[in-house]
Amino acid sequence: MVNYSKSNALNRLPKQFFADLVVKTNAAIAKGYDVINLGQGNPDQPTPEHIVRALQKAAENPLYHKYSPFRGYDFLKEAIATFYKREYNVDLDPKTEVAILFGSKTGLVEIGECLLNSGDTVLMPDPGYPDYLSGFALANLKIEKMPLLRENAFLPDYVSIPENVLEQAKLMFLNYPNNPTAVTAPADFFEETVATAEKHNICVVHDFAYGALGFDGIKPRSFLQTPGAKDVGIEMYTLSKTYNMAGWRVGFALGNPSVIEAIELIQDHYYVSLFGGIQEASAQALLGPQDCVRELVQRYETRRNAFFDAAHKIGWNAAPSEGSFFGWLPVPEGFNSESFFEYVLDKAHVVLAPGIGFGSQGGQYIRVGLLTEPERLAEAAWRIGELHLFD
């Protein structure tokens, strides 16, 4: 049998850092340990019942058994525009400023191919969502890291980026509420972002995956709420976190019409849009009762409080999360993120996500997923406390 070689593009793809963690976690479980897995990023609650029922009913419609329109149904794009007007007071033209995605990850991976050429420069947060790198590799882009440091509230410092790098950059990725640092971005930061993008002709891609998940009564800001944002970029949103629809693969890109057209064009060649029944159920999720979203945010806030209260009691001090369903905490003295992960898994049977998997600036941090009930989160902190690493 002939063994065919992979393309150069596939060979450029980064190694999946967290695949090794899954193997080690499963090995601990196989030994019979009661493992508390806080290393994941997969919503643990079911999709709200009224959305599931909408899909069940829509699946019976024979219209949806045929190919969907290549660029999606108008009713979903209109629902998205209505949602953004209601939630953020942002006006969107459904025909020219909205693209439907197979989950926001697809958009984040394909955007480099849409706008850049081989060797072009892209700005990426460090730490940042690892799958950004996949799109950069496939498009053969040059990556310049923007450090997210605690002393700068985990926001990029544009002043510290060399002028020649800003001049070369054609694309910038941002993500607030942030994965993994769990901070939100203030209005003046987005205003500075627009000014920087305008000055250097950089297209901004704001990953707003956790847009619904803000705590302490503070609603995370959409980048598109910033004057001039649509002139210099787009935002990507997903139903995965807001409505626990991760497996449904529904996302959308919003903003600058030229970027939206490029996304629609590449998807004309890759896909024939989402199943119509999923599009109808998604529209009903966006336009229907939002009690489920408010309840979900409260659930995550309760979990956040339970974990950080317990962490502080053992001397593990870090600022509580502002948004997302993660926590971002420093590792104790004498450890880096990988050695701390290994030690805690071995001694306490708790799985944490090493920060180094998100970039070099994460090497002294770990990410905690708030994706189990408060009692288990508090127990995880208590188990770690029994190791006396923070005494």
Model confidence pLDDT, tens digit, residues 93-152:
999 999 999 999 999 999 999 999 999 999 999 999 999 999 999 999 999 999 999 999
305-322 pLDDT, tens digit each: 999 999 999 999 999 999
Average pLDDT, the chain: 95
Instruction: Give CA–CA dist 346/351, Å, rounded.
Output: 9
Residue 17 has pLDDT above 90, yes or no: no
- 254 and 338 fall within a common domain: no
Query: Mean pLDDT throughout 242-249?
Result: 95
CA dist 197 and 216 (Å) reads 31
Lowest average pLDDT, out of 18-32, 42-56, 252-266, goes to: 18-32
The backbone torsions φ and ψ at residue 350, rounded to the nearest 5 degrees and listed phi first, read -120, 135
Say if residue 282 is in the same domain as residue 324: no
State whether 263 and 199 are in the same domain. Answer: yes
User: Domain ends where: 287, 313, 348?
Assistant: 287
**What's the CATH code of the domain at 314?**
3.90.1150.10
Instruction: Give the pLDDT score at 391.
Output: 83
pLDDT for the residue numbered 92: 98
**DSSP 3-state of 338:** helix
Number of structural domains the chain divides into: 2
Query: What pLDDT shows up at residue 248?
Result: 95
Over the stretch 31-59, which tens digit does the pLDDT of each residue have?
Answer: 989 999 999 888 999 999 999 999 999 99
What was the pLDDT predicted at 19?
Answer: 80
Q: Flag whether 270 is in a domain.
A: yes
Mean pLDDT in residue range 200-222 = 97
Q: What residue numbers bound the domain in which 32 lies?
A: 8-46+292-385
Say whether both 317 and 234 belong to one domain. Answer: no
Kindly report the number of other CB atoms within 10 A of residue 174's CB atom: 24
Question: What distance in Å separates the CA atoms of residue 240 and residue 210, rounded to the nearest whole number?
Answer: 9
pLDDT of residue 208: 98
